[in-house]
Amino acid sequence: MSSFPVTDSDTVGIMNAVNYLLSGPAGLGQNFEGFSNYNTGYLSGNNRPPFSTLEYTYTCTGVIGESTIIAGDNKGLIVGMRVGGHGITVGTTIVSIGTLTTDGSIIAISNPVIDTINNVLNFRFVNHPWLYQTPISISTAEMLDERTFKYTFATPYTPSIDGTKDTPFYIGQPIMVSGVTNNVYNITFTEIGVVECTVNYVIARTQNIYTMQSISSGGTVELRTTTLPTDSNPAKYNFIHTDCNGIATVNNGTDRVFIAAQLTNTLTTESEAFTNITAYSVFINRYSLTLSNDINNPSYIVTYDKTLTGKLRFFTESFGTNDTQEYETVFTTVIDSPGIGYYWYFIDIAFNTTQGDLVVTNSKLGLRSLTTQVVKQ
């Protein structure tokens, strides 16, 4: 341990003081990182950003018959977003966004206002990400290049009536393909995932390189984030990243990382039969970041390192179709002592069911945050 003051004859003290200086900056809160938001975010299930899509809610006014509204704020809004709420026709989107003034922002919309508006409206991306999609039959499967696969649906997908699901899959989602005649096409796209999706087909990409194959047929494509047990791993967790994350740089062995986090999550589930035990779990996970060796695509390799803490909730009652429940999870302070390196901390969640057919279809994030703070001792 370094000491002060250091005398000329105190060789050990001088050495300790120099080592302490070389070990990195002192003080509280260096490398302070984090995320916080209160706007609604729909979990995407992606293994890389975006981990959620945001929905913004602003107080608005509007007059019957006019195709404009005045919003109290326009932060985060972009042309093409869907508008919803009292006085708005289902399927209405943003056409243009006016400059924000003290009186608000004039928003041009695609359909006229159908009732007087003096209330809160929500603005979100047209294709709302879901966490479950029943298997869709495939007519043809083809390779567009060595890493990109296109699956054409046997019949076009029918969008939801309420406009919350226009296509079956969201960009980046880890879809699962099985049953295609040529087994090369049977892939779970965990690394990159969906890159394009319409009502007629889905295109997904993987980091692996495959030999080009001829067009094949048959099989299904689906999405499922709720995990069923296996004989070899009955407590398997499928970690799903939230947008609550922060990066920390640890410079020496005495650094400590302090993490604080909270998450409000509203889950929508579907089940047509009795489900015996289902778990909703919230974790703080640590991932290590290392530079890749690919000179053509320099980036960081993200590797799961450790689960620091978690909270589990078990349910033993049956669930009905489209059951919705809200849960709040708070981690006041978590202390981590990793080695020297570069780390990415996440609030991850997982859904597990042991019996029955319950699946989580939507995860709607509310007030949430995660902060990381490195403290040198």
Taking only the tens place, the pLDDT of each residue in 53-95 is 888 999 999 999 999 999 999 998 999 999 999 999 988 999 9
Residues in the chain predicted with pLDDT less than 70, given as ranges, are 1-10, 12-14, 17-18, 20-30, 162-163, 229-235, 272-277, 294-298, 315-322, 355-356
pLDDT tens-digit readout, 140-174: 999 999 999 999 999 999 988 766 788 999 999 99
**Domain locations in the chain?**
55-124, 132-224, 227-376
d(CA 106, CA 77): 12
Q: What is the pLDDT of residue 291?
A: 82
> Which tokens belong to 283?
């974790």
Count of Cβ atoms closer than 10 Å to residue 328 Cβ: 12
Please state whether the predicted TM-score (pTM) of the whole model is above 0.85. no
What would the CATH number be for the domain defined by 55-124?
2.40.30
Q: What is the pLDDT of residue 325?
A: 85
Report the phi/psi class of residue 64: left, alpha or beta, with left for phi > 0 and alpha for psi in -120 to 50. Answer: beta
d(CA 2, CA 39): 47
By the 8 A CB rule, do 64 and 115 touch?
yes
By the 8 A CB rule, do 54 and 35 touch?
no
Q: What is the pLDDT of residue 2?
A: 56
